Structure 1
Amino acid sequence: MSSRVIQSLLFLNNLKKIPLAVEDIDCLFTTKSFKSELLKQISAAKKRIYLAALYLEDDQAGEEVLSALYQAKKNNPSLDIVVCVDFHRAQRGLIGVDKSASTNATWYQQVAKIEGLGVKIIGIPVKRKELFGVQHLKGFIFDDQVLYSGASLNNIYLHQQDKYRLDRYWLIKNQELADSLVRFLQDQFLNTNAVASLNTESIADFQSLKLAHKTLIHDLRTASYQYQGQVSQDQLTVTPLFGLGARKNQLNKTIRQIFQSTEQELILFTPYFNLPSAIVRDINALLTRGVQLTIIVGDKTANDFYIPADKPFKTIGTLPYLYESNIKKFATKNQPSIDKGLLKIHLWKDKSNSFHLKGLYSDNRFAMLTGHNLNPRAWRLDLENALLIDDPKQEIKGLLDKELSGILANTRKIKHFNEIEDIANYPENVKKILIRMRRFKADRLVKGLL
């Protein structure tokens, strides 16, 4: 075992951890079961409901969730209900939709006029503009239950209609973990003047939050979850992690330590194949050491920005092709590792559904659940969090194996880089944009922001 591997294992072993009971952990395997569990937990909560997601959408599934929250408040007026979403995302329409259209925030306001203000919907701004950073914290807390997923709340994430967007869904019952997630939201955001209520009659603009927001971002760069934990190497545990920015980012640091500590096999899930340079270096070192790496990524048609050929094309529809070209370049460079069986690339595709899984699984021990996309944007710009499960006795290996098996069932394993479509075969409008971007080196800028 190299000194680098030993140092990384020491880092992971020395993290402060919250002990878990194996019977208090469960995994949901489908979008429909996620929706069912979400509504069940809302109905059953007695003391508190805290939901953190990128957005709560004004559509049928979003309305069902918001209605359930208000109903829970009516049934139990003392119930503390808070929804934390991105400040900017809530106040714009969907990409490609008329800017004059109603936004999620105007919907929140309309519902509040009818139902009252019993449900708090809070907008968290990360930067002055959404392009440069979003609220990407994840986790749904119901009393002492934590339902962790990278999903947002709308039709496709909750499989309301024919299509779904697959994510990961883990349910953990633990008061210390739930308290730490709620305490973080309260201390870092809710008890400051840097956030805005999105369902009051008047929503504060960013300019009025500017001074408090500056302090918020300064504090967040060194923030961490606070909890009673212990250093342990021999029991099932969980560590909540937070990160913002490229420096002093505990989450990013832990991600790198997982790569660097892996001795046998690392499994990586990401929907957008656009890895930060630091992760690329870690992957190169990992393969050089002879460690097996399995990458599971969405096929370009399973990307949430993909536009079918029978629909009007928009520039944003170029992104899935850009990500695919990244995969092709990576596979081409690492074909010798593919040939040796060290590198396995699986492209996920299930009809017209989409793929949104993120996370890591190392040596059947460390399992990271996260909303972190493992791309430059998440690495440098967005608020991100994760739960790192340490399973030294492989007590939840059965759940992790079942989750992985279900995911792999809809994948195609790449045996040679030529199996990945080339730019020469892309639609003409996509080809023109990508060639133009490369000519002016704009693709580097885009990859840094998306």
Structure 2
Amino acid sequence: MLLKGFISRELIPGAQNELKGSLQRISDHALDDLLLGLSQFAPSFVLNKEKITVLTEPKEFFFTLKNKILNARRRVFLSTLYIGKSEYELYTVLHKALSLNMDLRVSILMDALRGTREAPGPTSASLLVPLISLFGRHRVDICMYHTPNSSGLKRILPSRVNECWGVQHMKIYGFDDEVILSGANLSCEYFTNRQDRYHLFSSPQLTDFYATIHQFISSISYKLVPSDSPEKMALVWLSDTNCPEPTKDPENFRRHSTSVLLKLLKPTPINTNEVFSTIVYPLFQFSPIFKPYDFSTEKKGICLILDTFLSSQSTDYDWILTSGYFNTDKDYSKRLLTSSSKGCVIVSSQQANSFYNSPWPSKMIPSAYSFLAERFLLDVYKANKQDNIHLEEWKNGCHGEGGWTYHAKGLWIMPSQENEDKGRKPYITFIGSSNFSRRSHSLDLEATALIITFDTELKKSLRDEIENFRNYSKKVDLSDFSSPDRKTGWFVKLCVWILGKMF
């Protein structure tokens, strides 16, 4: 039986027998079929207790990030959308780590469009390129992914507009045998007053796997090199994998990436003789670089979990979904709205959106996401689920006036209060870069991990993580969207209708 590995070594014999019976009952109804289903398309890694640490605050994330980089002996690999163009403290930490340890290798993957957006002014790329000059490309490798969706005539558009066609959005931060999965980028606000999620995994096997994914996407990306240009840097195509250039031959670029990714993402069976308390399934949304079929696994995994635990008949589990940019995929919404389970959606308030009070046209973005949240709530009422599904807005002050912004994303599925103490049931969460939106599932590269755990301490940490968010969230109803300051203009609605895939 697949689930027997979940029985912990630390349990006393009597409790172990009791738990085994409990697991058998759970297995008969859901979990065994779930694990079999996941094993068809996703690699899996088993972890024991105290191998996952849930970080809660931006400053804790930054402290951990710096500490892990400085203490890394072999490798540091960072996959992110961008690094802040004035993030000198992080630059100094990388410089110090490389100076103190001659065996250390640093690899950084960013998005080419976002990482050079402000050129010829200061950019992520111009901040980091001196590391290559100082320590050499044999020790510092900085790569810039460019979406194949932006090719041909699209390339003449401004960089910020071109980002709408897709970016490298994964947030994977690895150090030797540990890796942080997050939704946070690497810039000042994410280290101070921009709320996100951050899970630290201590597992050589899992870290090696994510390092392999990082290395492959880096290998099909442009290389950052020093140059004599005004920007002091250049992006060059030096792929050593015979991969076609994404902006010149996007179709064959996709075919090449597909052939390699199908091998890297090959599902792995669980060792049923191994004892563990947690299973981690890395899931990815790589739609822009698959051809001719989309073999992405994130949506498959989420739909399978929702179908397993949130059926229209069962009320055994509750759920919480959050996104700073809420535009949930319709296949998820359909499942949530037909479920009998109780649930809560936490979204960013307009005041906690980083585009709040920004110049036109980006100033319309908070209103657009507010409109999308209102539209979801209308669907809740149409489905007669308003007693089961609530919408909450997160707000901690006001952006631009010393307040925080909200960038967290995730899905938690937990035993309902009535079932919490009736048996040993698992907690499930998805952690990573995806907003579970139409954009996430069509345009960007996303990395998400599915965690299924029976670990009591980890379950408590996940509950605390949720409570940390809900301390600043407030329930809203349809009447709240009717107030004059919340009214969405026709132009914003038109933009959402036309550009919905890009939100």
What TM-score bracket applies, with the shorter chain setting the length?
0.7 to 0.9
- Distance in 1, Cα, partners of 2:134 & 2:276: 53
After TM superposition, the score normalised by the length of structure 1 is 0.84
Matched-pair contact (CA < 8 Å) for 2:285–2:440:
no
What residue is the counterpart of 1:284 in the other structure? 337
Matched-pair contact (CA < 8 Å) for 2:364–2:492:
no
What residue is the counterpart of 1:357 in the other structure? 408
- How has the CA–CA distance of structure 1 residues 406 and 84 changed in structure 2, closer, same or farther, with 3 Å as cutoff? same
What residue is the counterpart of 1:240 in the other structure? 282
Map Cα deviations across residues 68-99 of structure 1 (whole Å, 9 max, x no partner): 11211111112111011111111112xxxxx6
- Distance in 2, Cα, partners of 1:76 & 1:210: 37
Map Cα deviations across residues 223-248 of structure 1 (whole Å, 9 max, x no partner): 45468651669731111112222833
1:366, distance to aligned residue in structure 2 (A): 1.5
Matched-pair contact (CA < 8 Å) for 1:29–1:169:
yes
- Distance in 2, Cα, partners of 1:115 & 1:333: 56
* Residue 58, structure 1, aligned to residue 113, structure 2: no
Letter in 2 for 1:124: Y
Matched-pair contact (CA < 8 Å) for 2:411–2:430:
yes
What residue is the counterpart of 1:96 in the other structure? none
- Distance in 2, Cα, partners of 1:226 & 1:184: 12
Letter in 2 for 1:136: H
- How has the CA–CA distance of structure 1 residues 293 and 220 changed in structure 2, closer, same or farther, with 3 Å as cutoff? farther
Q: Equivalent of 2:129, from 90, 98, 109?
A: 109
Identity of aligned residues (%): 22
Matched-pair contact (CA < 8 Å) for 1:177–1:227:
no
What residue is the counterpart of 2:270 in the other structure? 230
- How has the CA–CA distance of structure 1 residues 226 and 16 changed in structure 2, closer, same or farther, with 3 Å as cutoff? closer
In our comparison, the structure showing a higher alpha carbon Rg is 2
What residue is the counterpart of 2:110 in the other structure? 85
Matched-pair contact (CA < 8 Å) for 2:109–2:144:
yes
| Residue correspondence of structure 1 range 232-311 to structure 2 within 5 A | 235-245=277-287, 247-263=294-310, 264-286=317-339, 290-307=340-357
After TM superposition, the score normalised by the length of structure 2 is 0.76
Matched-pair contact (CA < 8 Å) for 1:180–1:226:
no
What residue is the counterpart of 2:179 in the other structure? 146
What residue is the counterpart of 2:375 in the other structure? 329
- How has the CA–CA distance of structure 1 residues 227 and 280 changed in structure 2, closer, same or farther, with 3 Å as cutoff? closer
Matched-pair contact (CA < 8 Å) for 1:259–1:266:
no
* SS of alignment partner, residue 134 of structure 1: coil
What residue is the counterpart of 2:37 in the other structure? 11
Q: Equivalent of 2:460, from 395, 398, 403?
A: 398
1:8, distance to aligned residue in structure 2 (A): 5.4
1:11, distance to aligned residue in structure 2 (A): 2.0
Q: Unmatched 5+ residue regions in structure 2?
A: 1-25, 151-161, 228-232, 238-243, 289-293, 311-316, 398-402, 415-425
Letter in 1 for 2:409: K
- Distance in 1, Cα, partners of 2:502 & 2:385: 33
Letter in 2 for 1:200: P
* SS of alignment partner, residue 440 of structure 2: helix
1:330, distance to aligned residue in structure 2 (A): 2.0
What RMSD in Å do the two structures reach over aligned CA positions?
A: 3.0
Map Cα deviations across residues 33-79 of structure 1 (whole Å, 9 max, x no partner): 111000000111011100111101112xx221122112111111121
Q: Equivalent of 1:417, from 478, 489, 496?
A: 478
Matched-pair contact (CA < 8 Å) for 1:49–1:79:
yes
* Residue 136, structure 1, aligned to residue 169, structure 2: yes
* SS of alignment partner, residue 226 of structure 2: coil
1:176, distance to aligned residue in structure 2 (A): 0.4
* SS of alignment partner, residue 158 of structure 1: helix
1:340, distance to aligned residue in structure 2 (A): 5.6
- Distance in 2, Cα, partners of 1:421 & 1:114: 58
1:299, distance to aligned residue in structure 2 (A): 0.9
- How has the CA–CA distance of structure 1 residues 74 and 317 changed in structure 2, closer, same or farther, with 3 Å as cutoff? same
- Distance in 2, Cα, partners of 1:228 & 1:13: 6
Map Cα deviations across residues 168-210 of structure 1 (whole Å, 9 max, x no partner): 1111100000000111222x234x4x31222432523689654
Map Cα deviations across residues 254-283 of structure 1 (whole Å, 9 max, x no partner): 111222222421211111121222222222
- Distance in 2, Cα, partners of 1:30 & 1:393: 22
- How has the CA–CA distance of structure 1 residues 178 and 138 changed in structure 2, closer, same or farther, with 3 Å as cutoff? same
1:5, distance to aligned residue in structure 2 (A): 10
Matched-pair contact (CA < 8 Å) for 1:241–1:250:
yes
Letter in 1 for 2:322: F
What residue is the counterpart of 2:59 in the other structure? 32
* Residue 189, structure 1, aligned to residue 217, structure 2: yes
* SS of alignment partner, residue 280 of structure 2: strand
- How has the CA–CA distance of structure 1 residues 100 and 17 changed in structure 2, closer, same or farther, with 3 Å as cutoff? closer
What residue is the counterpart of 2:8 in the other structure? none
Letter in 1 for 2:49: V
Matched-pair contact (CA < 8 Å) for 2:131–2:140:
no
Letter in 1 for 2:353: N
* Residue 73, structure 1, aligned to residue 95, structure 2: no
* Residue 218, structure 1, aligned to residue 247, structure 2: no
Matched-pair contact (CA < 8 Å) for 2:145–2:221:
yes
1:339, distance to aligned residue in structure 2 (A): 7.2
Letter in 2 for 1:155: C
Matched-pair contact (CA < 8 Å) for 2:82–2:114:
yes
- How has the CA–CA distance of structure 1 residues 231 and 64 changed in structure 2, closer, same or farther, with 3 Å as cutoff? same
- How has the CA–CA distance of structure 1 residues 437 and 369 changed in structure 2, closer, same or farther, with 3 Å as cutoff? closer
Matched-pair contact (CA < 8 Å) for 1:302–1:354:
yes
Letter in 1 for 2:93: A
Letter in 2 for 1:104: S
Letter in 2 for 1:230: I
Residues 101-110 or 82-91, more deviating: 101-110
- How has the CA–CA distance of structure 1 residues 325 and 209 changed in structure 2, closer, same or farther, with 3 Å as cutoff? closer
Letter in 2 for 1:435: W
1:396, distance to aligned residue in structure 2 (A): 1.2
1:122, distance to aligned residue in structure 2 (A): 1.0
